[in-house]
């Protein structure tokens, strides 16, 4: 167990975790809602600092980040645990066991070993991902500091429900983020994810101003968040609060975990969502989880010709330096560390 950061004592024995926007009040012997932070004797400890549960070298496109050092490799890792309880979680075997009181599995890999592994695998970055990196903040912060010293970029893939203080702490360390915008109604966040929409909107609106490159992902679920009105509201929020050059990834849903009564998202719905994003002024809208779909590639916003071509998560054509091969327009994004 490692001492946790970002918490404060309240009245005798009880403390408040300040890591995410749940701000859990935790009595002695109890854990927060994520199940990985425990009050022991009036002090908060993290149970996942030495529990890396998934680690891989991925193409950065798999995060997904399509406008951040395209074609580069990123060492990706995560622990078990999440602060949300989405009924449709596509990664529940990693995210949900601690919330359900089940064993927290993983292996000790120190920040120094993670950075060394990234360098040895010729990665350009380290990604904090797979589950929810907010809940393994201490391991992420220590690794990100060391990664910076070794010339590696830092990427966070998150539900965006961290507290403002957590975002302040991460601000100087993170280079790029992919943040879920799961829906655009308070009811969806409360009933389907056991969270709240407003903190996610506030954090998304702040991140670009911190100097991060930001891309947004929405898992489009039939009957739950796929109405034209809701998709249009999401697209307008992204365009107005983050920027019209923010990539928006519209991802196909598959029945998982506790949401088994919906079909796979039809291509026609994803294409309607794509049109909605473009109509709102977003220049880079992508359809994900649909092999071979043409909207997986980047078209130049100036001349409309292919600028970055992808097959799955592999860049197969175009210019990795972010300039359109046809007209020379510079695409939005980051193309060097």
Q: Compute the C-alpha angle 192/198/199, nearest 5°.
A: 100
Residue 195 binding ligand SF4, by CB under 6 A = no
CB 47, min distance to ligand SF4, A: 11
| Of 76, 79, 83, 131, the one binding ligand SF4 by CB under 6 A | 83
CB 135, min distance to ligand SF4, A: 5
Stretch that binds ligand SF4, among 15-23, 207-215, 230-238, 292-300 (CB under 6 A): 15-23
Q: Compute the C-alpha angle 152/239/276, nearest 5°.
A: 115
The SS3 assignment for 47 reads: coil
Residue 37 binding ligand SF4, by CB under 6 A = yes
Residue 17 binding ligand SF4, by CB under 6 A = yes
CB-CB contact of 80 with 97 (8 Å): yes
Residue 23 binding ligand SF4, by CB under 6 A = yes
CB 168, min distance to ligand SF4, A: 15
Taking the least distance from each CB to ligand SF4, the nearer of 33 and 252 is 33
Size of interface with ligand SF4, in residues (CB under 6 A): 12
Query: In the block, which residue shows the tokens 């719905």?
Result: 269
| Of 15, 33, 212, 242, the one binding ligand SF4 by CB under 6 A | 33
Report the first-to-last Cα separation within the chain, whole angstroms: 34
Q: List residues bridging with 217 in a β-sheet.
A: 180, 249
Residue 234 binding ligand SF4, by CB under 6 A = no
Kindly give, in sequence order, each residue whose CB lies less than 8 Å from that of residue 47, ignoring residues fewer than 6 positions away: 1, 31, 36, 37, 38, 98, 104
Write out the two tokens for 42.
């009036």
Write out the two tokens for 66.
């399509």
Residue 126 binding ligand SF4, by CB under 6 A = no
Residue 269 binding ligand SF4, by CB under 6 A = no
Taking the least distance from each CB to ligand SF4, the nearer of 57 and 173 is 173
| Of 32, 78, 85, 322, the one binding ligand SF4 by CB under 6 A | 32
Residue 40 binding ligand SF4, by CB under 6 A = no
Residue 24 binding ligand SF4, by CB under 6 A = yes
| Of 65, 115, 135, 144, the one binding ligand SF4 by CB under 6 A | 135
Cα–Cα distance for residue pair 66/322, rounded to 1 Å: 10
CB 286, min distance to ligand SF4, A: 30
Residue 160 binding ligand SF4, by CB under 6 A = no
CB-CB contact of 115 with 86 (8 Å): no
Cα–Cα distance for residue pair 85/132, rounded to 1 Å: 11
Kindly give, in sequence order, each residue whose CB lies less than 8 Å from that of residue 56, ignoring residues fewer than 6 positions away: 75, 76, 77
Residue 1 binding ligand SF4, by CB under 6 A = no
The CA R_g of the chain, rounded to the nearest whole Å, is: 20
Q: What is the dihedral of CA 3, 51, 249, 189, to 10 degrees?
A: -60
Stretch that binds ligand SF4, among 26-34, 101-109, 172-180, 206-214 (CB under 6 A): 26-34
Cα–Cα distance for residue pair 308/116, rounded to 1 Å: 31
CB 314, min distance to ligand SF4, A: 35
Taking the least distance from each CB to ligand SF4, the nearer of 20 and 89 is 20
Residue 99 binding ligand SF4, by CB under 6 A = no
Residue ranges binding ligand SF4 (CB under 6 A): 17, 19-20, 22-24, 32-34, 37, 83, 135
């Amino acid at each position: 167990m490692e001492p946790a950061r970002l918490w404060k004592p309240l009245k005798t024995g009880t403390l408040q975790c300040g890591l995410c926007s749940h701000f859990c009040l935790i009595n002695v012997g109890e854990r927060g809602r994520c199940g990985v932070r425990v009050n022991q004797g009036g002090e908060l400890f993290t149970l996942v600092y030495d529990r890396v549960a998934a680690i891989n070298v991925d193409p950065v496109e798999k995060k997904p980040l399509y406008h951040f050092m395209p074609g580069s490799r990123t060492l990706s890792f995560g622990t078990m645990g999440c602060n949300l309880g989405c009924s449709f979680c596509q990664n529940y075997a990693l995210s949900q066991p601690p919330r359900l009181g089940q064993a927290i599995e993983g292996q000790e890999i120190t920040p120094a070993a993670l950075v060394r592994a990234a360098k040895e695998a010729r990665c350009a970055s380290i990604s904090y991902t797979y589950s929810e990196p907010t809940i393994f903040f201490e391991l992420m912060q220590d690794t990100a500091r060391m990664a910076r010293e070794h010339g590696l970029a830092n990427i966070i893939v998150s539900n965006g429900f961290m507290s403002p203080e957590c975002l302040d702490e991460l601000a100087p360390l993170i280079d790029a983020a992919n943040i879920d915008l799961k829906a655009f109604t308070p009811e969806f966040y409360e009933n389907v994810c056991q969270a709240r929409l407003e903190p996610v909107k506030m954090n998304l609106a702040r991140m670009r101003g911190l100097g991060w490159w930001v891309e947004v992902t929405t898992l489009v679920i039939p009957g739950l968040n796929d109405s034209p009105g809701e998709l249009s509201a999401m697209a307008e929020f992204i365009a107005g609060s983050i920027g019209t050059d923010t990539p928006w990834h519209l991802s196909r849903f598959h029945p998982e975990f506790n949401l088994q009564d919906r079909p796979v998202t039809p291509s026609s719905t994803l294409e309607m969502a794509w049109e909605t994003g473009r109509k709102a002024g977003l220049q880079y809208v992508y359809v994900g989880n649909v092999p071979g779909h043409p909207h997986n590639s980047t078209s130049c916003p100036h001349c409309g010709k292919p600028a970055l071509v992808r097959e799955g998560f592999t860049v197969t054509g175009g210019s990795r330096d972010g300039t359109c091969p046809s007209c020379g327009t510079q695409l939005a994004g980051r193309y060097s560390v």
